[in-house]
Amino acid sequence: MMGLDCNCETRGPRKVRAFEKVLTDVQREIYVENWRISGEELDIGAESDGWHIDKRRLLGGLSDGVDVVEVNSGRLSFVVVPTRGMGIWKGTFDGCFLGWDSPVKELVHPSYVNLEDRGGLGWLSGFNEWVVRCGLESNGAPGEDLIVDNVGNKKSVRLPLHGRIANTPASEVRAFVGLEPPFELGVRGVVYERSMFGPSLKLSTSITSEIGDNCIKISDVIENVGGVPAEMQLLYHCNYGMPFLENGARLIAPLRRVAPRDRRASEGVEEFDSFGPPQAGFVEQVYFFELLGDGEGRTRVLLTNKDETKATSISFSLRQLPHFTLWKNTASLSDGYVVGLEPATNFPNPRRFERERGRVINLKPRENYAAEVVIAVHLGKEEAQGVKDWIKNLQDAVKPKVFKNPTSEFSPM
Amino acid sequence: MMGLDCNCETRGPRKVRAFEKVLTDVQREIYVENWRISGEELDIGAESDGWHIDKRRLLGGLSDGVDVVEVNSGRLSFVVVPTRGMGIWKGTFDGCFLGWDSPVKELVHPSYVNLEDRGGLGWLSGFNEWVVRCGLESNGAPGEDLIVDNVGNKKSVRLPLHGRIANTPASEVRAFVGLEPPFELGVRGVVYERSMFGPSLKLSTSITSEIGDNCIKISDVIENVGGVPAEMQLLYHCNYGMPFLENGARLIAPLRRVAPRDRRASEGVEEFDSFGPPQAGFVEQVYFFELLGDGEGRTRVLLTNKDETKATSISFSLRQLPHFTLWKNTASLSDGYVVGLEPATNFPNPRRFERERGRVINLKPRENYAAEVVIAVHLGKEEAQGVKDWIKNLQDAVKPKVFKNPTSEFSPM
Amino acid sequence: MMGLDCNCETRGPRKVRAFEKVLTDVQREIYVENWRISGEELDIGAESDGWHIDKRRLLGGLSDGVDVVEVNSGRLSFVVVPTRGMGIWKGTFDGCFLGWDSPVKELVHPSYVNLEDRGGLGWLSGFNEWVVRCGLESNGAPGEDLIVDNVGNKKSVRLPLHGRIANTPASEVRAFVGLEPPFELGVRGVVYERSMFGPSLKLSTSITSEIGDNCIKISDVIENVGGVPAEMQLLYHCNYGMPFLENGARLIAPLRRVAPRDRRASEGVEEFDSFGPPQAGFVEQVYFFELLGDGEGRTRVLLTNKDETKATSISFSLRQLPHFTLWKNTASLSDGYVVGLEPATNFPNPRRFERERGRVINLKPRENYAAEVVIAVHLGKEEAQGVKDWIKNLQDAVKPKVFKNPTSEFSPM
């Protein structure tokens, strides 16, 4: 068992009594503009009573019309953004900031994001979330690929960076509060990525935290609700700036193989797992990982600051998310000093390349694909020790292979 | 005379006293978010009192900010969508659903539709209406064509599928209720498709139904409000799924000539006028028609289910809408099991091709173009008999020519 | 000193007591939908009490969600549009209309403007302002240029016409009312043009008028808030139709050199400074100017109607805005009968060309660039005389050079 310091993984799918509030249901024409619940309105009997859920509609500027749901489970709080595909904007744990400081400060309404902009890089004009899904029809770098058009012909189109899901609003949003232990708080949502003669993918997500806990669980199911087979890609872009990222911060992960994405990444391959200070003009370095898992395919990665007093881990199953990418972007503070930890179904290369490498999911009609990611925060040196030990235990059995140069198995040459 | 079962055609332009409510007038800064009127508020003296008009602003998801006006004239109801170019989302007649079940379920706000997407196919991500206009500067398949830019130069651009009008909100919207027989209910609206150095086309539409009647009349006038001549294209994409469409459903129309659009359509040319069951992966088949009209150029087409108990007809003038397209897309229910009946000024080929064939309207400054479409619903076997007889009468005099293969007069080879 | 008839230039940066109201602050989640203040609510002791500031959110049609702030300082009123980058829609002075009558009548929300549309000309579908900034990352004609992508590679993209700032909503908006002489009224705003791996430009603007005055002052500071050097372009597109523009209207400006942009402009170079009547199908003529300035680099241009009873002038510094463009577009009234006076950091050619000519601003991190434009209105023949004299005085010393043909220094051949 891993995650001794986090109860999240031990939850089963057992049903507990819960209070539920529908915040959006487009089909039923339900929409709640502003809403709040806390221990003052609802006594759930939990020891901690500092919890609340707060739903707001932002107004003005680039955020005009953006819905946010803030969940505060006592020590941990996070902001889910239904309007931006149920991503997680930012959070705090015991006052410690979770997320990063993007040059894009405000939440950006999708109507201001033209994905085709800047040669397919328009996604970047709205990119500032702590956790953002990339997908679902495709993710990764922009690139030419073939789609089937309405006439049944193959048509070459340029797929935009990281796909559409993060700029697609949820059709259904519900807040819920568990009325029995473990007193789970959270938001559920459904986001459709669909078009006539296009994808018909349904994302059902549940984003939860337990009262008083240090972790957040993202449980997703992607279903092909169309009548023909469909491709699917899913990547969790989990981004951290200070205080977890700093000069001397490190990534600790159970490694089988590591490959630099390109020549730029090769330059830093000796220190791929450590991070430097903010550096103006730093050009991103990206590393592709094959991780080790336990007998059930579970794995965990840890990002820790220099003195290991502030750490965060991500747990997931390699059976669901077999590929992991590290995005090092230690640019200046004003340009986005950030590291991305990215468990995924694929590496974020152009989809055509990933398809050739067998790293694109195919879903039959009505078939679905589940993925779960648990993010925990570990403040204090002792807190992360369990995770470190767990990773070390896996690593002890295997000597990692680190490629010095880009490798055709991992990235286009 | 045709349409004995429908009073719609007999209406003249005579003025009757009417109650009118301005719902939107952008220039005058009038906007009504929610509004409703019915026989309870306004006794118009009609026999039927089950009528109402209900204006709502949808909130949340992809529908956030979409205005809808639901008109219920007793037996018939339909939902006009000012935000989507005064299209008609869906309707019911005596409880029978009018429209189709697109994979795109909710009304999509135009700000979520990027027409340039997917190589000019972005229109499809918002396509789910019962009746949607395609135009006005252009319609049809995406393709390269020339526009005149601000410098007066010809500039090659890629025109997007089916043009912009369906994703352009109305500048003026009025609901009205006739206070004298025939007690007409409806919505009027004005939509501008205009840009500096671009088109200056004004669509004035009136969408009406009489109390207790079985039909809906769409009366449009498109005016070139610019100072230079302009091209115009207009197509009414009228779409039906179940219950009118089913295995064994048929199209009955007075035919002079029928041409398959492409090789795919040639495959099914022997059964061009009959429809099969939902079939996963079915690739659309499109047929172009030259129809017969009466002495005044009026014509009518009928879509009927297998046992002819549920039928719907469209009446229009060949002088206004000389070209008719049949879109057969009997894909699986989840991918859009649908047939489109499309009276138009042109066939939905790329505009450049249509121009070469003389099928693009040219409007001088201040010149306008009127088009009217009447859609009637016929439930019960006897109800459609009058229409069938009328069509048969026209057809008896002419043996239709059905091309086995695509023909350069009709479609690009 | 110039501008004897206008107090605007004499203002210093000295602080006066002022009433201030935050209308939008996205970071602090402040947004005021509707608000108004006038002499009735706030007695500031000025002689004129006909002033007011009126903030509204427009609803419906293409204007849905557009914020406007109308400032009326007594004789002069103008409408600032936070949603469209703090442009100025239109104004009036003593009942005289300021602006032009674009074929696009309503204010267009940026979510309806796809800049990539029509081969990069989408900006034109929302273009109807009196004063609109073009920039900030680039402005001018669309054209291929290189950007740096997220991987640090140069990437060729097509820059859209006139950049993004006019379709980017302000993040901060404040109205203010001076409580001491000169009793200044106005709106301040902050607009960010930024993207991860893209520009990080901050526009801080103050748009003001004094109680009872005839002029409006636009004071802008553009700061590079990113961590790496950035290019910047800024052009003030000041547009006039009737009554200033009419057959026989003229531009009076202190000229050193004038160059036609292209062959079309060459055709009219003999009458570059006079304007004809509305003419259907007129193709724009654009002239690039090198203006004369006084010892401090200040200059002024004057647009006057035929009999010089209605004139408007623009004052600015050649140190800030060294290049000036005249846009003659005397098309029919319905197509936009308009002349544009455009002080700028550059000529509105594709950015690549301007860079080659050294006319693109480079800003280091934290460096900023200030620009100020004062627009005055002169009604009655005597009113403009001071400006005419001031210009004549400068011109007397220099014989202007007027190129007959396009010149490679000014425009691509």
pLDDT digits (tens, 9 = 90+) for C308-364: 999 999 999 999 999 999 999 999 999 999 999 999 999 999 999 999 999 999 999
Question: Where does A41-82 show beta strands of DSSP type E?
Answer: 52-57, 67-72, 76-81
Res. B11: pLDDT tops 80: no
Q: Is residue A111 part of a domain?
A: yes
**C398 CB-near residues (< 8 Å, 6+ apart):** C254, C255, C256, C292
Tell me whether B111 touches chain A (CB under 8 Å).
yes
A406 at interface of C, judged by CB pairs closer than 8 A: no
Does B171 contact chain A (CB < 8 Å)?
no
Provide the CB-side half-sphere exposure for C259 (13 A, CA). 16
Say how many Å lie between the first and final Cα of chain B, rounded: 39
Are C96 and C310 a contacting pair, CB within 8 Å?
Answer: yes
* Beta-strand pair B154-159/B143-148: antiparallel
Residue C2 lies in a domain: no
Which of B63, B280, B284 is nearest residue A26 as measured by Cβ atoms? B63
Output the pLDDT for position C150.
Answer: 76
The residue assigned the tokens 């404040």 is C174
Contacts of A228 in chain B (CB under 8 A): 280-281, 332, 335
Residue B77's φ and ψ, nearest 5 degrees, are -135, 150
Task: Report the C-alpha gap between A200 and C185 in whole angstroms.
Answer: 53
What is residue B200's three-state secondary structure?
Answer: strand
CA distance A333 to C366: 13
Distance from CA of A213 to the nearest CA of C (A): 28
pLDDT (tens digit, 9 = 90+) per residue, A208-251?
999 999 999 999 999 999 999 999 999 999 999 999 999 999 99
Q: Is A117 on the interface with C (CB under 8 A)?
A: yes
Q: What is the DSSP letter of A34?
A: S
Q: What is the pLDDT of residue A87?
A: 98
Residue B412 belongs to a domain? no
C-beta neighbour count of A398 within 10 angstroms: 12
**Residue C224 in tokens:** 């590079």
> Per-residue pLDDT tens for C271-306?
999 999 999 999 999 999 999 999 999 999 999 999
**Does residue B333 sit within a domain?**
yes
Give the residue numbers spanning the domain of B358: 16-402
Residue A328, domain member (yes or no): yes
Q: Which of C172, C197, C225, C364 to mutate to test the interface with A (most CBs of A within 10 A)?
A: C197
Q: Total domain count for chain B?
A: 1
CA-wise closest residue to B406 among B259, B270, B269, B242: B259
The number of C-beta contacts closer than 8 angstroms across B and C is 119
Q: Quick check: C171 contacting A, CB < 8 Å?
A: yes
Q: Name the token pair of C185.
A: 């009224």
| B-chain residues near A196 (CB < 8 A) | 102-104, 124-125, 127-128, 336
| Total beta-carbon pairs less than 8 A apart between chain A and chain C | 119
Window C:303-332, CB contacts with B under 8 Å: 331-332
Tell me the mean pLDDT in the region B195-207.
97
Handedness of CA B180, B182, B187, B189 (dihedral sign): negative
Nearest to A196 by CA among B65, B338, B88: B338
- Kindly report, residue by residue over A82-103, the tens digit of the pLDDT: 999 999 999 999 999 999 999 9
pLDDT at A46: 76
pLDDT at B10 over 70: no
Query: Which among C56, C125, C334 has CB closest to B195?
Result: C125
Q: How confident is the model at residue C2 (pLDDT cuts 50, 70, 90)?
A: very low
Is this structure's pTM higher than 0.80? Answer: yes
Q: Is residue C7 part of a domain?
A: no
Mean pLDDT value of segment A292-311? 97
Does the structure show a pLDDT above 80 at A259? yes
C-alpha C126/C-alpha C86 separation (Å) is 14
Residue A47 has pLDDT above 90, yes or no: no
DSSP structure class, residue C99? S
Identify the burial level of A74 via C-beta atoms within 10 angstroms of its C-beta, where 0-12 means exposed, 13-18 middle and 19 or more buried. buried
Using only C-alpha atoms, what is the Rg of chain A?
A: 20
The three-state secondary structure class of A298 is strand
Cis amide prior to C182 (ω within 30 degrees): yes
Contact B376, B215 (CB under 8 A): yes
The model's pLDDT over C51-106, given as tens digits with 9 standing for 90+, comes to 999 999 999 999 999 999 999 999 999 999 999 999 999 999 999 999 999 999 99
How many other CB atoms are there within 10 angstroms of residue B347's CB atom? 26
In whole angstroms, give the CA distance from residue A88 to residue A83: 11
Rounded Cα distance, A53 and A39, in Å = 10
Mutate to test the interface with A, among B79, B83, B114 (most CBs of A within 10 A): B114
- Which range among A48-57, C215-224, C376-385, C389-398 shows the weakest confidence by mean pLDDT? A48-57
Question: Contact A333/C152, CB-based, under 8 Å?
Answer: no
CATH code for the domain in which residue B304 is found: 2.70.98.10
Q: Is the pLDDT of residue B5 over 60?
A: no
**For the purposes of burial, counting CB atoms within 10 Å of the CB of B47, is it exposed (0-12), middle (13-18) or buried (19 or more)?**
exposed
Q: Would the pLDDT of C11 be above 80?
A: no
CA B184/CA C407 separation, integer angstroms: 65
Over the stretch A333-345, which tens digit does the pLDDT of each residue have?
999 999 999 999 9
A207 touches chain B (CB under 8 A): no
Quick check: helix, strand or coil at residue B236?
strand
Enter the tokens of residue A171.
């059709």
Cβ distance of B103 and A195 shorter than 8 Å: yes
Task: Report which of B391, B390, B392, B387 is spatially closest to residue B375, judged by C-alpha positions.
Answer: B387
Contact criterion met (CB < 8 Å) for A112 and C115: no
Instruction: Identify whether the C-beta of residue B144 lies closer than 8 Å to the C-beta of residue B156.
Output: yes
By C-alpha distance, which of B57, B96, B98 is closest to B78? B98
Mutation site for C-interface testing, chosen from B147, B196, B203, B224 by largest number of C Cβ within 10 Å: B196
Over 60: is that where the pLDDT of A315 sits?
Answer: yes
Test C119 with B157 for CB contact under 8 angstroms: yes
For residue A55, give every residue at least 6 positions away whose Cβ sits within 8 Å of its Cβ, in sequence order, or none: A23, A32, A34, A35, A36, A67, A68, A69, A70, A175
What is the pLDDT confidence band of residue C50, given thresholds at 50, 70 and 90? confident
Structure-token pair, residue C336: 């936009």
The residue type found at C243 is P
A-chain residues near B281 (CB < 8 A)? 227-228
Residue B363 within any structural domain of the chain: yes
Q: How confident is the model at residue A14 (pLDDT cuts 50, 70, 90)?
A: low
Strands (E), A305-355: 310-317, 323-330, 337-344
Residue C4 forms part of a structural domain: no
Contact A249, A296 (CB under 8 A): no
Please report residues of C whose CB lies closer than 8 A to that of A111. 110-111
Residue B273 CB contacts under 8 Å (≥ 6 apart), including other chains: B250, B251, B252, B253, B326
Residue A271 is encoded by which pair of tokens? Answer: 């220190």
